[in-house]
Amino acid sequence: MEYNNWGPAELARPAARTLRKVEATRGLVVEDVQTGWVGAVVRIEKSGGMHIMELADRREKVRAFPLGFGFLVEGEPVELVAPVVAAAPRKPARTASGSVKVEGLRARTAKASRIWVEGKHDAELVEKVWGDDLRVEGIVVEPLRGIDELAAAVEDFAPGPNRRLGVLVDHLVPNSKESRIVANLMRSPAAKKNVLVVGHPYVDVWQAIKPATLGIPAWPVIPRSMEWKLGILQAFGWPHTTAEDIGLGWQRLLSRVHSYSDLEPSLLGRVEEVIDFLTAPVSL
């Protein structure tokens, strides 16, 4: 075989001439200049800080060589290098709500539309799970601190096509006080088109956290004679006598919530319904 004026001694060490780098991919036919061994690459492994290449000849005998200089590929002296392993496709990042996370997008200026929830705890839970989505959409969550005066609050808000309102109500079940308040509100023509009221069946938004998320089989049943949140804290064996105890207890519960999978589907669906309502194109 002719070496084009490049003898074995020169090929066996790095020369002043820059050689083309070739990846030693499986199946590549290579000739070792010093031994004359010709074979196809069948295996590459890293050992002792260097890559070792195994070449199988046409009789399927195998010899190992360190990668580097001293090889010919189709008669051309080359430097053999380890193949670049393609990184696995990165899965798109997800928000806590399960949506595809939008990278590098600044939060939009808040729109006129709003999500109203009954209290601070509801707002904190919605923010923790859906906060990234809401900032992308420019939607703000505001606590109502009760819904007894919901109709008056909606009238003051003055909803319209570009100023919609979504309301998330606790314990919205048939024949409840909450259901009567909502029914009265929805008699308003402005509310029928520009307000969406949805609710979950739980006494309090605390119950929308799955028991499994908290490591319990079920939420404790609290007698009607006892304030529900204080009863829950007492059942857990936590401090339960002051408003501060309630706040600290809620933070302990909220700390166990990391994503939508920690919440009951009956809450997830209602919040998603509200977001869809507020972000839908305005009908002309």
Show me where the domains of the chain are located: 8-81, 114-209+257-279
Q: What is the mean pLDDT of residues 203-214?
A: 95
Instruction: Kindly report the number of other CB atoms within 10 A of residue 47's CB atom.
Output: 9
For residue 17, name the pLDDT band (cuts at 50, 70, 90).
low
Query: What number of CA atoms fall less than 13 Å from residue 135's CA on the CB side?
Result: 14
Is the pLDDT at 123 greater than 50? The verdict is yes
For residue 212, name the pLDDT band (cuts at 50, 70, 90).
very high
129, 260 Cβ separation under 8 angstroms: yes
The string of pLDDT tens digits covering residues 134-172 is 888 889 999 987 788 888 889 899 999 889 999 999 888
pLDDT at 102: 60
Six-digit token string for 59: 């009789």
pLDDT at 106: 53
Looking at domain 8-81, its CATH architecture is: Roll (2.30)
Q: What is the mean pLDDT of residues 119-136?
A: 91
Q: What is the mean pLDDT of residues 161-185?
A: 89
On the question of a common fold for 8-81 and 114-209+257-279, the answer reads: no
**The domain made up of 114-209+257-279 is a member of CATH 1.10.150:** no
The model's pTM: 0.63
pLDDT at 188: 78
Sequence-ordered list of residues with C-beta below 8 angstroms from that of 100, at least 6 positions apart, any chain: 92, 93, 94
Alpha carbon distances (Å) from 3 to 10, 117, 272, 274: 10, 81, 71, 75
